[in-house]
Structure 1
C-alpha cells in the first residue's frame, strides 16, 4: 500500500541529514585549510631559522709541520697541510701560523665568502714560506 503523506516526511529527514553532513564536512575542510595555511608555514619557518652550520677549526700535526682542518657539522670540509696561495709545497712552520690562516678561512666561510686565501692576506699576517 502506498501512503503519500509519509513520503515527504522521509525526504525532509534525508535532506536535513545530508545538509548537516555537508555543513560538517565544509567546516572540517575549512579548518584543515586554515591549519595548512597558518600552522605549517610557521613550523617550517621556525625549524629552518634555528639551523646554522657549526664550524670548527682543529690543528693538524703532520710529522715536522702543522696544518689545519675545518669541520662543518662534524664533517671535514677543508684539510690544509701546506700554506695556501703559494706555489710549491711549503708547510706551516708552527701551529700558531696554521691556526691564524684557519681562523681567516673559517671567518670567510661564516660570511658566505670563498675560502680562498690570497698571497697579500698571508703577507699581512706575516706568514711566509720557509
Structure 2
C-alpha cells in the first residue's frame, strides 16, 4: 500500500515537470521582464498635491493617478477641528505627507512636525 502512494506522488511530480518543461530560458527571461515591468508600474505612483479652500481656512488633498487618497481639511494631531490658517501652511504639511508617501513611510503627522513647519495651531 505504501508503494502505491509513493508511485502516485512520483506520477504527479513527473506530470508537473513535463507541464513546466515548456518554460525555456527565453520564456523565463520574458516572464521576469514582465514581472519587473508590472512591479515598476505599480511603484511609480503619480502622486500629486493640491490646496483646498475650506469654509474656515485651508486644507489639501493628495491624489494618486487622479484618485483622491488623502483629503485633509483640518490640522492633524490637534484636538480642535481647525483648518490651516493659510494655504502655505496647508501645502507645507501636505508636501511633508507627500514626501513620506513617496518614501514608503507612514503619512502621519506629529505635533513636532507642525512645530518644525511653523504651522500656527
Q: Deviations along 1:73-118, whole A, 9 cap, x unmatched?
A: 1110111111111111111001000000000010111111111100
In structure 1, distance between residues paired with 2:95 and 2:82: 19
In structure 2, distance between residues paired with 1:114 and 1:42: 30
Q: 2:23 aligns with which of 25, 28, 33?
A: 33
Is 2:77 the partner of 1:77?
A: no
In structure 2, distance between residues paired with 1:53 and 1:44: 17
Structure 1 runs (4+) greater than 4 angstroms displaced: none
**Matched residue count:** 100
In structure 2, distance between residues paired with 1:125 and 1:40: 46
Segments of structure 1 that go 5 or more residues without pairing to the other structure are 1-28
Segments of structure 2 that go 5 or more residues without pairing to the other structure are 1-19
What's the secondary structure of 2:34's corresponding residue? helix
Matches within 5 A, 1:1-130: 32-34=22-24, 35-51=26-42, 52-129=44-121
Instruction: Choose 1 or 2 for highest CA Rg.
Output: 1
In structure 2, distance between residues paired with 1:33 and 1:113: 38
TM-score (norm 2): 0.74
Kindly report the root-mean-square deviation, in angstroms, between the aligned alpha carbons of the 2 structures.
1.8
Q: Deviations along 1:15-51, whole A, 9 cap, x unmatched?
A: xxxxxxxxxxxxxx97x42143232222222343244
In structure 2, distance between residues paired with 1:65 and 1:114: 26
TM-score (norm 1): 0.69
